[in-house]
A and B are shown apart, each in its own frame.
Chain A
Amino acid sequence: MASLPKRIIKETERLVSDPVPGITAQPHEDNLRYFQVTIEGPQQSPYESGVFQLELFLPDDYPMEAPKVRFLTKIYHPNIDRLGRICLDVLKTNWSPALQIRTVLLSVQALLASPNPNDPLANDVAEDWIRNEDAAIAKAREWTQLYAK
């Protein structure tokens, strides 16, 4: 495996030594570019008390290219589809090499706190959300209880 840029090593060290509250990120033993991530559902959100598993991968061009992040835990969210893919600007067009793993994960956490059904990835979920927000939130809670425990 190609040698790891100093920046990745630095970031990894900091994630371990100075973790973000509610977020853990562990590099995989065999591939230091692959992280196992957990994010706790933000309070006052339908995902509260859930612990969501994610995976994060730093591509070769990182930090020029954004990390790839995906939910592993099933989640009912208008910006996250059934495969766990996330619709988040900083992961796509708004990525900047000045951003880091830490900031990306914070953005994901923030996305849980404030779903944005107007920029949906999961169309059916977004429709539910717009049509009947309460029912959708209830369903999100239910799923959190079901899958993110």
Chain B
Amino acid sequence: MSKDGDMVIKGAEKPEKRRFFNEDLEEDGDGANDTTGDGVLQNDLSNQNSFLFGGASDTPGVEESMNEIEEIKDVIPNLTDSQANDLLQKAGTSSDKRERIASAVEIYFENHGPQSKPTEPKQSRPSPQPGSAFKLTKISAPLSPTPAKRIRDYGARLFKKHKPTVRWRRFIGSMQVSALATRPTVKPLKYGSELKILRTSSDALGKLYYANGRKKASMANYVRLVDENLNREVGRVPEDVAMILFPLVDSDELDFEATMIYCNNRRLSVGDSFIVQLDCFLTSVMFENYSTLTRNTPVLNKRTFSQNVVESEEELRLKSRRLALISLFDQVQLRTISENDSLDSSFDEPAEVVDLDNESDSGGETAKNVDIRSIQPSQIQDDVLNVNQLKSLYKSTLSMESSKFLPETSPSVESFQLELRRYQKQGLTWMLRREREFDLVSDTASSEEVDGDMMNPLWKKFRWPKDLSWASQKQTRIELHSQHSVDCFYANLHTGEFSQAKPVIKSMLKGGILADEMGLGKTISTLAMILTVPHDRGYHERKPSEQQEKLDADISILGSQRVEHSKPYAFKTTLVVVPMSLLSQWQQEFEKSVSNPELHCEIYYGGNTSSLRTLLTKNKSPPIVLLTTYGTVQHEWSRLMNKNTGYMESDTTGLFSVEFFRIVIDEGHTIRNRNTRTSKSLMDLESSRRWILTGTPIINRLDDLFSLIKFMRLEPWSQVGYWKTFVSDPFEKKNYKSAFDVVSSILEPVILRRTKVMRGVDGKRLVELPPKEVIIEKVSFNKSEDTLYQYFLNRAENSVKEGLDRGDLLKKYSTILVHILRLRQVCCHSDLLGSLDENDEDLTENKMLTEPVKIDEKLANATSSSDISQEELDAIISLVQTKFPDEEQFKKLECSICTSEPIEPIMQVVFTECGHTFCELCILEYIRFQSERKQEVKCPNCRQAIDSKKLLTLENDSNKIKIVHYNGGSKSSKITSLVKSLKRLQDVSSGEQVVVFSQFSSFLDIMQRELSASFSSSVAQIYKFDGRLSMKERSRVLHDFATKDLSKLKILLLSLKAGGVGLNLTCASRAYMMDPWWSPSLEDQAIDRIHRIGQVNDVKVVRFIMEHSIEEKMLRIQERKRTLGEAVDADEDERRKRRIEEIQMLFE
């Protein structure tokens, strides 16, 4: 096996044919070793050799042996004939002369080498270069290379050109690689021979990637296995291994050793496969790099991702390195151990490297019985989570048990006069800690506790595996380990950083996300924090450095986008951005909670102050809270945005002219879409502390969180590239666990979420709310509604069927949405047709919406057959008229069904053709009841048969009350049901306050009209709250509604969109949901307007659902959404699929 030695011989004799001889000799040498096998150290290998290359050769002839002796003596000077003969005897039986000589020379060196330099430590050898340089050395001094040869003989490895920086290396795992021969070999590759991994092109990245960062060429083209001894390429590795090797092999951070372990004992032809064991080591350089990387440039270092992600050469390099590391760790099956696991328990030994030593002689078979794992880099996470698991993962992230044990902080009575609940006090502690105001936290825990010694969860802990490398197994060799005592190391495979010390999160961010569930008092908690720390106490002394620091940070964050950055610091003011509907509520809460009259709050909606900058920075006592709306911020921002350059112009008076002390955005999910103007404008506001309040941090997708993180400027996640790489991309690749691990690690330190059902330290629920009952009341269509509904249903069904048949359902998505909208509108009230659903903005473009709907025509068709002539009607009217000669009588009419007297308002009066009077609702109910039972409809009073089409009612026509034909079809069944329910409620207890939700503003208008007609103003007061109200009107409406009046039923008609969030309507304990919405959570939110802290009564909610209509199916979709977990909607494909399924559900 002493190839180098042989090479010398052959090289000297026939230099031109060196290559072939070398190969010949190599092969023969193996055979020779095999049969003689008496070298002390050769025993190790003899087994394999027989397995691989077994078979004896002929004994050489005597005459040949003389020549051989001469030849050996040529090679080894000072050798006697007998010594040479001995060697030849030992080298034995090979048929090939050269082989025997090679063996003999080898044996010589085997036996003599160690004697000459027995104590030479291998490690101390200067790294010898295999290859030509080495050969030259040996020619000049044939005896000196002995130790090196010995090492190679036993499969041990030479040290590569370790730089002095590499102090040690440690084994992390091996993999079996099925390599592909690229050059034919004359002999089988020798078992245990070392192969060198060579990267053929150092600047290949440019060739590997397109400008857009996509890979265009295979890395396998650039990674070759080279026979160490022959310096000749023998093969290439598969792409997945090349992916690992290519970026890493030339770095000092890792060390690879490749050993030929199986080639079926055949010479290789191009395309043959052979098995190589690849041992992988981490070196000390890897760990040193981390510390320099992170210590010197803590956040950004070199991989700054610009907004539009074009990856530079450097980024590509880092990316490929990162991917290679992940893949490598996956392949060598290094497993993470969780921080809490004891080192001894629950640790799976990595799978033993398949060792061909132990394979039986059945090795004649090809690679089939060799465990070549099919290696897929994408298998980083085997168990793909389903959406429900994701949901629970998400939940577990947010509701941290640890929050239960936060100490409580009470705000100072001098500034805050309300009493906080226990969990709110804990929340205050958390918020103050987040702001680094440790001295104000009652339990002065050290700052470390805030950050915890929580490991940065991007980092994973690994245990050093047992050294199973070829080198260590074949020869107990002293490794370069300097730190055997250390069992574990840490790696951040996302960034490719490694550490031996535990990496701990340090964030300089002041602020966070208070994500307590609705109704837990986020507003109050926030006010407590604001009033506890109303202004930047450290401002004066730290100003210069801080400002500079900030400047630097901002420049690095936003790059060229901002040049000007020295805005005046409004260090005494907290800006609170809220949805319009909550403006007055915030103001009221502030007034209620503030106890120091010097602290005041102002509302800013643009233009009401000549200069905000002057007010906030030049004023002696600026408002400590400045309330404004998202709209105001967005408006000012749009004004400042230069359309041509895309940059913001500097502002001297408005919100953007100062840097605030603190910004709080309420209902922070408003900015979840970072492409909206509102969202962009919020990002550009400056402040030193940034808070987000939201009960629903994720509404639709994971990326909702990104906007929040961007707003908080939580580095490095606020860089879109980071987010994309670590969250969006893994998520889209269905690598949910990885994405969610990252998300929870990002969120955990900055988010506090408690839910109503959580229990505090005392074991009680955080909030004990009175029970809530939600009843679904099914309503059936009346005849005309049914006709109309069927008409629209047919149209919609045809459209959907067409779409499904042609497979372009989603192309027609908006058309179908319009169809669905129509159906939903018919369910509510036919007058809604043609109006828009305020929640479906995306439909505004659709032509169909503007298409006139000829309801009357449809209805006329349906009812014409049984219509009554005008003459007939006139006759009845005059007949009835004669019974009531005096107009005053109309005000004293009695209904024999409900025994009301008088019937009021008089619009409610309905006359039968026999002249008897009833309430509209009573007689309609009677007619419905009788018809349902197929019983004759008779006047309840005189038992004369009556015709429901011949009913009459009163109409107030310019102060004259007239009897007119009653058109029963105009009243929708839903409104009828609502009125009935309200009447019943009114009967039981007057002075109730009820909230009626609908998503259609125009439906609110209709209800307002019809309810006014059904309830006289003396018994009921109707309020309407929707997006069209001005700020002032909103607060007036809410105030009036909340004022208790025991004599009147108060009805608040509330638009689901305008009033679904934030409002506190605990004065009411009853709600009616007039129409279902797609998202159950939105409805839940609406219900939570009344079912929240402060509610003392049992809450009863009635949801009106039209029977046998699309609304019932919407309920099913809601149900489905609840179980599937709409919070974490899957990727785009999944959503499309679900949409189609939903549409099918609607029309099945």
**A-to-B contact residues, CB < 8 Å:** 3-7, 9-11, 61, 63-65, 93-94, 96-100
Residues on the A chain within 8 Å of B929, using CB: 61, 64-65
Residues on the A chain within 8 Å of B900, using CB: 6
Contact A97 B987 (CB under 8 A): no
Set B925, B930, B940: member contacting A98, Cβ < 8 A: B940
Contact A97 B926 (CB under 8 A): yes
- Of chain A, the residue at the smallest CB distance from B986 is A6
Residues on the A chain within 8 Å of B943, using CB: 94, 96
Contact A96 B984 (CB under 8 A): no
Contact A4 B938 (CB under 8 A): no
Chain B interface residue count, CB cutoff 8 Å, equals: 20
Contact A3 B987 (CB under 8 A): yes
**B-to-A contact residues, CB < 8 Å:** 896-900, 922, 925-926, 929-930, 935, 938, 940-941, 943, 983-985, 987-988
Residues on the B chain within 8 Å of A10, using CB: 899
Q: Which of A5, A63, A93 has the most CB of B within 10 A?
A: A63
Residues on the A chain within 8 Å of B984, using CB: 3, 5-6
Set A5, A61, A93, A96: member contacting B898, Cβ < 8 A: A5
Q: List 26 A-B contacts (CB under 8 A).
A: A3-B984, A3-B987, A3-B988, A5-B984, A6-B898, A6-B900, A6-B983, A6-B987, A7-B897, A7-B898, A10-B899, A61-B929, A63-B897, A63-B898, A64-B929, A64-B930, A65-B929, A96-B938, A96-B940, A96-B941, A97-B897, A97-B940, A98-B896, A98-B897, A98-B940, A99-B940
Set A61, A63, A65, A98: member contacting B941, Cβ < 8 A: A98
Minimum CB–CB distance from A21 to chain B (whole Å) comes to 22
Contact A4 B926 (CB under 8 A): no
Contact B897 A4 (CB under 8 A): no
- Of chain B, the residue at the smallest CB distance from A10 is B899
Contact A97 B988 (CB under 8 A): no
Pair count A-B, CB < 8 A:
46
Residues on the B chain within 8 Å of A9, using CB: 987
- From known contacts A3-B984, A6-B898, A7-B899, infer whether A97 and B922 are also in contact, taking CB-CB under 8 Å: yes
- Of chain B, the residue at the smallest CB distance from A99 is B940
Residues on the A chain within 8 Å of B930, using CB: 64
Q: A3 vs B985: C-alpha distance in the bound complex, in angstroms?
A: 8
- From known contacts A96-B941, A98-B940, infer whether A64 and B925 are also in contact, taking CB-CB under 8 Å: yes
- Of chain A, the residue at the smallest CB distance from B897 is A97
Q: A94 vs B899: C-alpha distance in the bound complex, in angstroms?
A: 19
Minimum CB–CB distance from A14 to chain B (whole Å) comes to 9
Q: A103 vs B929: C-alpha distance in the bound complex, in angstroms?
A: 21
Q: A97 vs B926: C-alpha distance in the bound complex, in angstroms?
A: 8
Set A4, A63, A94, A96: member contacting B988, Cβ < 8 A: A4
Residues on the A chain within 8 Å of B899, using CB: 6-7, 10-11, 100
Residues on the B chain within 8 Å of A99, using CB: 940
Minimum CB–CB distance from A93 to chain B (whole Å) comes to 8
Residues on the A chain within 8 Å of B935, using CB: 93
Q: A7 vs B919: C-alpha distance in the bound complex, in angstroms?
A: 13
- Of chain B, the residue at the smallest CB distance from A100 is B899
Residues on the A chain within 8 Å of B926, using CB: 64, 97
Q: A3 vs B775: C-alpha distance in the bound complex, in angstroms?
A: 15
Q: A100 vs B895: C-alpha distance in the bound complex, in angstroms?
A: 13
Residues on the B chain within 8 Å of A98, using CB: 896-897, 940-941
- Of chain A, the residue at the smallest CB distance from B916 is A98
Q: A9 vs B900: C-alpha distance in the bound complex, in angstroms?
A: 12
Q: A97 vs B941: C-alpha distance in the bound complex, in angstroms?
A: 8
Residues on the B chain within 8 Å of A100, using CB: 899
Minimum CB–CB distance from A17 to chain B (whole Å) comes to 14
Q: A97 vs B929: C-alpha distance in the bound complex, in angstroms?
A: 11
Residues on the A chain within 8 Å of B983, using CB: 6
Residues on the A chain within 8 Å of B988, using CB: 3-4
Q: A94 vs B942: C-alpha distance in the bound complex, in angstroms?
A: 11
Minimum CB–CB distance from A76 to chain B (whole Å) comes to 32
Minimum CB–CB distance from B981 to chain A (whole Å) comes to 10
Q: A76 vs B941: C-alpha distance in the bound complex, in angstroms?
A: 33
Q: Which of B898, B938, B983 has the most CB of A within 10 A?
A: B898
Residues on the A chain within 8 Å of B987, using CB: 3-6, 9
Q: A65 vs B930: C-alpha distance in the bound complex, in angstroms?
A: 9
Residues on the B chain within 8 Å of A65, using CB: 929
Residues on the B chain within 8 Å of A6, using CB: 898-900, 983-984, 987
Q: A61 vs B928: C-alpha distance in the bound complex, in angstroms?
A: 12
Residues on the A chain within 8 Å of B938, using CB: 96
Residues on the B chain within 8 Å of A7, using CB: 897-899
Residues on the B chain within 8 Å of A4, using CB: 987-988
Residues on the A chain within 8 Å of B898, using CB: 5-7, 63
Minimum CB–CB distance from A7 to chain B (whole Å) comes to 5
Residues on the A chain within 8 Å of B985, using CB: 3
Q: A113 vs B983: C-alpha distance in the bound complex, in angstroms?
A: 40
Sample of 7 further A-B pairs with CB below 8 A, known A98-B897, A100-B899: A3-B987, A7-B897, A11-B899, A63-B897, A65-B929, A96-B940, A98-B940
Residues on the B chain within 8 Å of A94, using CB: 943
Minimum CB–CB distance from A73 to chain B (whole Å) comes to 30
List of 7 A-B pairs having minimum Cβ-Cβ separation, nearest first: A6-B987, A98-B896, A98-B940, A96-B940, A64-B929, A3-B988, A97-B897
Minimum CB–CB distance from B527 to chain A (whole Å) comes to 40
Minimum CB–CB distance from A91 to chain B (whole Å) comes to 14
- Of chain A, the residue at the smallest CB distance from B988 is A3
Residues on the B chain within 8 Å of A3, using CB: 984-985, 987-988
Q: A10 vs B925: C-alpha distance in the bound complex, in angstroms?
A: 20
Residues on the A chain within 8 Å of B941, using CB: 96, 98
Minimum CB–CB distance from B530 to chain A (whole Å) comes to 45
Q: A99 vs B897: C-alpha distance in the bound complex, in angstroms?
A: 8
- Of chain B, the residue at the smallest CB distance from A11 is B899
Q: A52 vs B334: C-alpha distance in the bound complex, in angstroms?
A: 91
Q: A94 vs B940: C-alpha distance in the bound complex, in angstroms?
A: 10
Q: A6 vs B988: C-alpha distance in the bound complex, in angstroms?
A: 7
Q: Which of B899, B900, B925, B930 has the most CB of A within 10 A?
A: B899
Minimum CB–CB distance from A5 to chain B (whole Å) comes to 6
Residues on the B chain within 8 Å of A5, using CB: 898, 984, 987
Residues on the A chain within 8 Å of B940, using CB: 96-99
Minimum CB–CB distance from B951 to chain A (whole Å) comes to 16
- Of chain B, the residue at the smallest CB distance from A64 is B929
Q: A97 vs B896: C-alpha distance in the bound complex, in angstroms?
A: 7
Q: A132 vs B936: C-alpha distance in the bound complex, in angstroms?
A: 39
Residues on the A chain within 8 Å of B897, using CB: 7, 63, 97-98
Q: A6 vs B895: C-alpha distance in the bound complex, in angstroms?
A: 13
Q: A65 vs B983: C-alpha distance in the bound complex, in angstroms?
A: 19
Q: A3 vs B941: C-alpha distance in the bound complex, in angstroms?
A: 26
Q: A96 vs B914: C-alpha distance in the bound complex, in angstroms?
A: 15
Minimum CB–CB distance from B1102 to chain A (whole Å) comes to 12
Residues on the A chain within 8 Å of B925, using CB: 64
- Of chain A, the residue at the smallest CB distance from B930 is A64
Q: A5 vs B984: C-alpha distance in the bound complex, in angstroms?
A: 6
Q: Which of A3, A6, A97 has the most CB of B within 10 A?
A: A97
Residues on the B chain within 8 Å of A61, using CB: 929
Q: A56 vs B502: C-alpha distance in the bound complex, in angstroms?
A: 81
Q: A85 vs B163: C-alpha distance in the bound complex, in angstroms?
A: 109
Q: Which of B935, B983, B984 has the most CB of A within 10 A?
A: B984
Q: A96 vs B918: C-alpha distance in the bound complex, in angstroms?
A: 13
- Of chain A, the residue at the smallest CB distance from B900 is A6
Q: A43 vs B940: C-alpha distance in the bound complex, in angstroms?
A: 31
Minimum CB–CB distance from A142 to chain B (whole Å) comes to 38
- Of chain A, the residue at the smallest CB distance from B941 is A98
- Of chain A, the residue at the smallest CB distance from B927 is A64
Minimum CB–CB distance from B110 to chain A (whole Å) comes to 103
- Of chain B, the residue at the smallest CB distance from A94 is B943
Q: A22 vs B985: C-alpha distance in the bound complex, in angstroms?
A: 35
- Of chain A, the residue at the smallest CB distance from B935 is A93
Q: A64 vs B935: C-alpha distance in the bound complex, in angstroms?
A: 12
Q: Which of A3, A4, A65 has the most CB of B within 10 A?
A: A3
Q: A104 vs B926: C-alpha distance in the bound complex, in angstroms?
A: 19
Minimum CB–CB distance from A50 to chain B (whole Å) comes to 32
- Of chain A, the residue at the smallest CB distance from B898 is A7
